[in-house]
Structure 1
Amino acid sequence: MKLDIYDHFHPDEREFVDRAWEWVVNAGQYHETRLTDFLDPRQAFIVESLANRHPDVHVRFDGGYEEAERTRALIAPDYRDLSGEDMKLKVLSIDSVDRKFLTLEHGDYMGSILGLGIKRSKIGDIHVLESGCHTVVCEEISAFLDMNLNQVHRVQVHSEILPIDQLQTNKAALEPMDITVASLRLDGIASDVYRLSRSKVLIPIRAGRCRVNWKTVEDPSAPLKAGDVVSMQGFGRFKVLEAGDVTKKGRYRVKIGKFV
């Protein structure tokens, strides 16, 4: 692979870039088709970027519905029609036996699924519903999950595998927060959102535990803008909804949505 490809990505992403480039080369030169596990938006961007560098390769992304955050990628020679390909997606429908006992949240379902030894890459978007939860999963692990998932956060549950066209979705809930900051720097906004001192918020950022739009960012002074999604390991994630208005004292008004 040409070394200049690495210049476009963070050093921590090199391992994934190498794997993705291998998928692209195998599709273009050896006519292989590769269906990946679920990719986050940053990984999907990397795959698409690399596929665009090869004249004989194209890729299809599908996470079960149009606005899916996590998607599987089908990488194939460009002569192959991907529109009718089976993306091997299933819906794991989960219902609690006693709904009066406890309200289950996104993290509860996620933790219980991963607690069965399932890799995060096998799980797509999780939709918490009034009646339970619909989770998009790779078809190859759906039977295992259906058989073994019987408890979520001390609540007894029953599950069912459904075809992907029966998926019920639910937009992520955002808790609004209005802050004023001296600048639109990452560390300043994250400090206010997570209610940490500036010195404490610098630690996870410089340790590579902060991502902006799913890309690792280690520069505390990196500017944020409306639409950016920030996640910090151990502290959750938030979205910058509005930014830019200036107060009379020269501070920036920023509207935040915290994922709950």
Structure 2
Amino acid sequence: MINDKKKYLEHIDDKEEIITLRKLLDDIEIVMRDKIVIATNFLNPYQRTLCYSLLNRFIDISYHEEGGYEDAERKVIIIYPDYLKYTKLDDFISVFKITTSYDFSDLSHKDILGSLMGLGIKREKIGDIIILKDFAEIIISKELKDYISFNLKKISNQTAIINEIDKEDIIIIKPKYKEIQTTISSLRLDVLIAAIFNLSRKNSSDIINSGKVKVDFKPIDNVSFKLNGGELISVRKKGRVKFEGILGESKKGKYRILIHKYIG
């Protein structure tokens, strides 16, 4: 039904996401042919933006994103025939509240994700993991609800206690961050990373060139990539920062900038 799928992917430069978009085209074709509803895997904002560039080219379908709560980072895209009302569709995600038998505060996002993936669950089937003081909330594909309920017995070395909750009961917390003001000579990516993570320009450039940096979830390997303000920058094994914007510019052309460096 979709002729020449390669043509739909010609505008995609990111080769790592070609598989995601090929799967999306297959899903679109099934929805159009069989008049059914399909949900994608959980996708980050960058992946969803790429998907929209394809979805918007088909007039016979509609779509909606769902991640459990409005500001979820990872969401599925629910694709359905255009004549259906979204409010009438089945839900495709489930939410669990997880506590432990001992001291939950010792556990991290990495511990919970690792325990889920240790059950053979792929990362793309897991949405946001929200860590609170005494418990966590995990958002997962509904198809895995029973499997996780029966098989997730431990997180790290602690016994896991699992209860399903409604999406409306999700407790949202704002991420903690350290506010940093600093001065940089230019708005290049390598310059900002060097300043924020206390690196030399060479080390900063090496990190970018090795593919360890994402800007708004998009892999960037160009050291001279120019920032405008508002970008979320993640550096593998070093953390995430939000470049909030420029506070001022000196007579010598240097920029005073505001950064939020996320903690935990």
Work out which of the residue numbers 208, 211, 217 in structure 1 matches 2:211. 208
Paired residue type of 2:228: K
The answer on whether the counterparts of 1:184 and 1:223 sit within 8 Å (CA) in structure 2 is: yes
- Once the two structures are overlaid, the 10-residue window that deviates more, 35-44 or 234-243, is 234-243
Aligned to 1:27: 31
- Once the two structures are overlaid, the 10-residue window that deviates more, 132-141 or 103-112, is 103-112
1:179 is the counterpart of 2:176: no
Are the structure 2 counterparts of residues 215 and 147 from structure 1 closer, same or farther at C-alpha, using a change threshold of 3 Å? same
Match of 1:39, SS state, is: coil
Q: Over aligned residue pairs, what C-alpha RMSD do you find?
A: 2.2
The answer on whether the counterparts of 2:247 and 2:258 sit within 8 Å (CA) in structure 1 is: no
Percent identity of the aligned residues? 29
Match of 1:6, SS state, is: coil
Work out which of the residue numbers 170, 173, 184 in structure 2 matches 1:170. 173
Deviation at 1:152, TM superposition (A): 2.8
Deviation at 1:29, TM superposition (A): 4.7
Work out which of the residue numbers 2, 6, 10 in structure 2 matches 1:6. 10
Note the residue ranges of structure 2 that are not aligned, 5 or more in a row.
Answer: none
- Give the TM-score normalised by structure 1: 0.89
1:113-168 per-residue CA deviation (whole Å, 9 max, x = no partner) reads 22332211111111111221111111122222233333334344322222323222
Work out which of the residue numbers 227, 247, 256 in structure 1 matches 2:259. 256
Deviation at 1:98, TM superposition (A): 2.2
Paired residue type of 1:31: K
- Give the TM-score normalised by structure 2: 0.88
Q: Give distance in 2, aligned partners of 1:171 and 1:105.
A: 16
Aligned residue-pair number:
259
Aligned to 1:193: 196
Q: Give distance in 1, aligned partners of 2:121 and 2:199.
A: 33
Work out which of the residue numbers 63, 72, 78 in structure 2 matches 1:74. 78
Aligned to 1:145: 148
Q: Give distance in 2, aligned partners of 1:58 and 1:102.
A: 42
Deviation at 1:2, TM superposition (A): 5.5
1:53-85 per-residue CA deviation (whole Å, 9 max, x = no partner) reads 112121110111111111111112211222231
Paired residue type of 2:7: L
Aligned to 2:235: 232
The answer on whether the counterparts of 1:229 and 1:239 sit within 8 Å (CA) in structure 2 is: yes
Q: Give distance in 2, aligned partners of 1:259 and 1:217.
A: 20
Deviation at 1:213, TM superposition (A): 1.0
Paired residue type of 1:223: K
Match of 1:83, SS state, is: helix
1:163-183 per-residue CA deviation (whole Å, 9 max, x = no partner) reads 323222222222222221111
1:36-66 per-residue CA deviation (whole Å, 9 max, x = no partner) reads 1211111111222211111212111011111
1:61 is the counterpart of 2:65: yes
Match of 1:205, SS state, is: helix
1:222 is the counterpart of 2:225: yes
The answer on whether the counterparts of 1:112 and 1:152 sit within 8 Å (CA) in structure 2 is: yes
- Once the two structures are overlaid, the 10-residue window that deviates more, 144-153 or 65-74, is 144-153
Match of 2:203, SS state, is: helix
Paired residue type of 1:59: Y
The answer on whether the counterparts of 2:44 and 2:75 sit within 8 Å (CA) in structure 1 is: yes
Paired residue type of 1:164: K
Aligned to 2:162: 159
